[in-house]
Amino acid sequence: MDVDIIERIEEKYLITKEEKDNLLRSIKIHLEKDQFFSEEVLSLYFDTKTNDLVIESIDRPAFREKFRLRAYNVPTRNSKIFFEVKTKLSKGRIKISNKRRLIISLKDFYEFYEKGEKLSNLIKKSSDNNPRQVQIAEELDYLVKFYNLEPKLIIASDRTAYAGKNDKKFRLTFDENLRFRDENLKLEKGGLGEKYFPYTSDPKRCIIMEVKTMNAMPIWFVRELSRLKIYPSRFSKYGKIYQYLNERKRNV
């Protein structure tokens, strides 16, 4: 989990509980539980004052980026968290994701965001004075200032994760019980929030399955997706919830 630069192909699917169970039953010989098999994933998303990044992302340009602070399970101020800049580049039907993340404590994040200390200085002072982490910190110092980023939304989910038995770079995750809040934006307050699941017209499709791999998807996985008629879905949690909140405001 502590890898600081990750580039891979990612694909999302919206599936039912029955589809999840059938798929896992049919491919279980190829999978093992991930090191972090069962977790609550908490993500605090940042955007400009006028939400330019999410608005642009909804239009699905070939290149888009997002910024988030992520914790796995409820953090304390001394917990390790990840401040990430994630970019996506679409090449035809292939979507390449690049994630650069700074590994810091929640306390150090507040030193940066609330007290104005540079992330790069915090990393240089730390025991993990890693040159690549310093480079990512300098990038984030610049981008946060350039976009004038501010916290916008916390999204939480309950995640189970699997890895390939023979291909550790293949990862399969299932996010359920999606919820959000747009106030009290502190990760240490946990994943409380309003439940959200109107992803599609079918309310049973409430599980977000995501495939992450460095290479092409394994043939055994593609074969089972085809057999079960499970198809990719273009879906951004942050984008969908932003649109949902906007629609609700218009209808008040």
Does residue 18 have a pLDDT over 50? yes
Domain span including residue 19 = 5-251
| Range in 8-17, 121-130, 142-151, 195-204 with the lowest mean pLDDT | 195-204
Q: Record the tokens describing residue 153, joined without a space.
A: 């939304």
Q: Please give the backbone phi and psi of residue 126, each rounded to the nearest 5 degrees, phi first.
A: -80, 170
- State the pLDDT confidence band at 140, using cuts at 50, 70 and 90: very high
| 118 pLDDT tier (thresholds 50, 70, 90) | very high
Selection from 78, 72, 2 nearest residue 37 by Cα: 72
As for how many domains the chain has, the answer is 1
pLDDT of 250 reads: 84
pLDDT exceeds cutoff 60 at 1: no
pLDDT of residue 216: 82
Q: What is the CATH number of the domain that holds 170?
A: 3.20.100.30
Q: For a pLDDT cut of 90, what percent of the chain falls above it?
A: 70
Decide if 73 contacts 85 (C-beta within 8 A): no
Quick one: pLDDT at residue 111? 96
Neighbouring CB atoms inside 10 A of 167's CB total 14
Can you give the pLDDT at residue 125? 87
Look up the pTM and report it. 0.92
The residues, ordered by sequence, that sit 6+ positions from 198 with a Cβ below 8 Å of its Cβ are: 244
State the burial class of residue 203 (Cβ atoms within 10 Å of its Cβ: 0-12, 13-18, 19+): exposed
Helices 219-228 and 17-27: crossing angle in degrees, nearest 10, is: 140
Q: How confident is the model at residue 72 (pLDDT cuts 50, 70, 90)?
A: very high
CA 148, CA 177: separation in Å to the nearest integer?
Answer: 31
